[in-house]
Structure 1
Amino acid sequence: MNLFLLEDDYAIATGLCYSLENEGYSVTHASDVKQAIDIISKEKFSLYILDLTLPDGSGYDVCKEIKKQGDLPVIFLTAYDDEVNVVMGFEFGADDYISKPFRLKELLVRIKSVLRRYNNETADGVIKFKDLTVNTNEAKVYKNGEEIILTAIEYRLLLILLNNRGKVLSRTQLLENIWDVDGDFVEDNTLTVYIKRLRDKIEEEPNRPLIIKTVRGLGYMIDNG
């Protein structure tokens, strides 16, 4: 499996490349934004690991170029773990982030988790579950072949749940990954409203949901069925 690493610190990059290759990954390394964009314009990778602060720009710039090619998995490496940087990372389409300094084992777990979610998709970016079909390249959702119109938040909420099938996601976890059109966090009470609206659109019987299930006292999940 081929990974792309953008890291300007030579010591960190060398250590990561060595460790990841020992785990069976093939790693292509770039040390700045210009080099990274040149490489990713010619080749697609299974997963992208991007340092945030670079001498000629930001990992955000590279992430934007990656996402133009499709819904490809991205993990940010950052020396900052404050809320603003985390939110910005998710807004740019990142799937996860890890703060420096970090343990290699933690990064490996994050990589496997993100790849596992993406492997639930077919090669053409289509997720199928029961009578739902989600085309992630076009950001469109179909039920029994007919398109369902979802808002941006409803779509992201559905995608988060589908990419974590079989896993109970707490309200806090969901709230950390969705925001409204102004970039503001969705409030806890509002999440209930969005879950209801989404169920109204995708469930046969919204009051007896078979797709998005409530796990009382814990959160919500879509099972592996």
Structure 2
Amino acid sequence: MKRILLIEDDDTIVYGISELLKEEGYDAAAVSTLREAFCMDIRDFCLILLDLGLPDGEGWDFLRKMEKDKGTPVIILTAREDEKDIIKGLDMGADDYVTKPFKAGILLSRIRAVLRRRREVEESGAVLRCGNVVLDKNRTLVMDGDREIVLTAGEFRLLMYLMENKNSTLTRNALLRYLWDSSGDYVNDNTLTVTVKRLREKLGEQSGRIIRTVRGIGYKLEDEND
């Protein structure tokens, strides 16, 4: 049975989500403080649902720790709906960002999407190439020649999807559906723009040649060698 860790201090929300997860066949465990969360072995869980406002600190502190261990995906679950918080969470490596109040069906869909994406990465041994950029799905590693490019989870997924569909134009809606498995109604469109911008910055000079903006449509990753 898949185990999900819920880091949340609101007893009502904990009870509701725990029952929801159990009905869907998940084993739910919950802690209410950062101190308890830091004591958990996150390798025991397939997914973490993280609240940002906790009694003894901020969820950002836990997410910062998770940056060093990218094995377990994280969905931020919070009442904070400011664009800056959403961008910060995704940039720090969260796999998704869900604001409260939320509908049960949407939360379950997001959970399934994150777990599906993680499973696809784990099961695929493919190495993708575009110019000098090499992406290893199994090792969650991106190299530009001898230089390792350190990406957040969101940036990695975006680059992987672009490389899987290189030389094809991908619409913004298609990218949003893939990255967050939802329509633009649930994810601020600016998040995609910021993620592309930061991905280009990390790729460096190479990015100007491979990630092209198709005005009014989306993005296209071009390989000069093809």
TM score, norm. by length of structure 2 = 0.68
CA distance in structure 1 between the aligned counterparts of 2:18 and 2:108, rounded to whole angstroms: 12
Q: Which amino acid aligns with 1:5?
A: L
Change (3 A) 1:156 1:149: farther
The equivalent of 1:39 in structure 2 is 40
Q: Which has the higher helix share?
A: 2
Change (3 A) 1:169 1:135: closer
Out of 141, 144, 154, the residue aligned to residue 143 of structure 2 is: 141
CA distance in structure 1 between the aligned counterparts of 2:220 and 2:116, rounded to whole angstroms: 16
Q: Is 2:12 aligned against 1:11?
A: yes
Mapping of 1:34-113 within 5 angstroms? 34-40=35-41, 43-113=43-113
Q: Which amino acid aligns with 2:142?
A: K
Q: Which amino acid aligns with 2:206?
A: R
Change (3 A) 1:47 1:120: same
Q: Which amino acid aligns with 1:175?
A: T
Out of 197, 203, 206, the residue aligned to residue 197 of structure 1 is: 206
User: Residue 157 of structure 1 contacts residue 174 of structure 1 at CA under 8 Å; is this kept in 2?
Assistant: no
CA distance in structure 1 between the aligned counterparts of 2:75 and 2:153, rounded to whole angstroms: 21
User: Residue 76 of structure 1 contacts residue 94 of structure 1 at CA under 8 Å; is this kept in 2?
Assistant: yes
Change (3 A) 1:120 1:10: same
Structure scoring higher RCO (CA < 8 A, sep ≥ 6) equals: 2
Aligned residue-pair number: 195
Mapping of 1:115-130 within 5 angstroms? 115-122=115-122, 128-130=126-128
The equivalent of 2:158 in structure 1 is 160
CA distance in structure 2 between the aligned counterparts of 1:33 and 1:122, rounded to whole angstroms: 29
| Bigger mean CA offset, 78-87 vs 48-57 | 78-87
Q: Which amino acid aligns with 1:169?
A: L
The equivalent of 1:203 in structure 2 is none
Change (3 A) 1:156 1:96: closer
Q: Residue by residue, what CA displacement relative to the aligned partner does 1:151-200 show, whole Å, maximum 9, x if unpaired?
A: 557996453242586773278563143454xxxxx8xxxx6xx7993485
User: Residue 67 of structure 1 contacts residue 93 of structure 1 at CA under 8 Å; is this kept in 2?
Assistant: yes
Identity of aligned residues (%): 30
Change (3 A) 1:96 1:55: same
Can you give the 5+ residue segments of structure 1 that lack an aligned partner in the other structure? 181-185, 201-205, 207-211
CA distance in structure 1 between the aligned counterparts of 2:96 and 2:14, rounded to whole angstroms: 19
RMSD: 3.7
Q: Which amino acid aligns with 1:21?
A: K
The equivalent of 2:175 in structure 1 is 169
TM score, norm. by length of structure 1 = 0.69
CA distance in structure 1 between the aligned counterparts of 2:37 and 2:151, rounded to whole angstroms: 31
User: Residue 78 of structure 1 contacts residue 99 of structure 1 at CA under 8 Å; is this kept in 2?
Assistant: yes
Look up the SS of the partner of 1:68 in the other structure.
Answer: coil
Change (3 A) 1:169 1:17: same
CA distance in structure 1 between the aligned counterparts of 2:44 and 2:16, rounded to whole angstroms: 23
User: Residue 91 of structure 2 contacts residue 152 of structure 2 at CA under 8 Å; is this kept in 1?
Assistant: no
